[in-house]
Amino acid sequence: MKKEIWKDIEGFEGLYQISTYGRVKSLGRYVERIRCGQVGKFWVDEKIITSCRCTGGYVKVTLCKNGVHTQKMIHRLVAETFIPNPNNLPQVNHKDEDKTNNHIDNLEWCTDLYNKCYGTARQRQAESLKGVYINSKNPNAHAVICEGIIYPSIKECAEHYGIKPNTLYSMLCKSKKLGKKWENYGFSYV
């Protein structure tokens, strides 16, 4: 196993570090605190910070600088600190699809589309969308499932099949009104 490497977190130099294993530590330092009504400088030992899972399953940590608390996603901290991003890609993908595994070898920079379609993402997305109902009339706000393929929007699905987006949207609305479980001509949407 590779050796764990620690580097300062950008914007929090001298305060916090992130490791190639996805661990965050607070560095030992003097801090000003009020104790017994007196302001003084007190030593705080270096320690690994406890992280927590947020909605969506990602792991985050809270950092503090000058009294301001900031939450950071650990996978992004690892990627920003250790993984070059020459193409300025916007997202970080977990190769094993485990959002809690923030080891440098499990992360890669990617596009939004690549991240959405990676591994079993489409299958998991289809499962999570079952029983979800629309609440907007915006055709671009809904995913569409056709022949087992999930399209991020009605517009993208329509373009793939050479149909006008409004026509597809109209077909889907008719199927909803007719109670056909959101299906019409092999399409369904959520």
Give me the pLDDT at residue 36, please.
78
* 91-138 pLDDT, tens digit each: 999 999 899 999 999 999 998 878 777 766 555 555 544 443 333 445
Give me the pLDDT at residue 21, please.
97
Q: Which residues of 50-72 are buried (b: 16+ CB within 10 A; e: fewer)?
A: ebeeeeeebbbbebeeeeeeeeb
Question: In terms of Cα–Cα distance, which of 12, 87, 97, 6 is closest to 48?
Answer: 6
Report if pTM > 0.85. no
Q: How far apart are CA 30 and CA 3, in angstroms?
A: 29
* 18-47 average pLDDT score: 88
- One CATH from 3.40.190.80, 3.40.50.300, 3.90.75.20, 3.30.70.20 for 6-116: 3.90.75.20
Q: CATH 3.90.75.20 spans which residues of the chain? A: 6-116
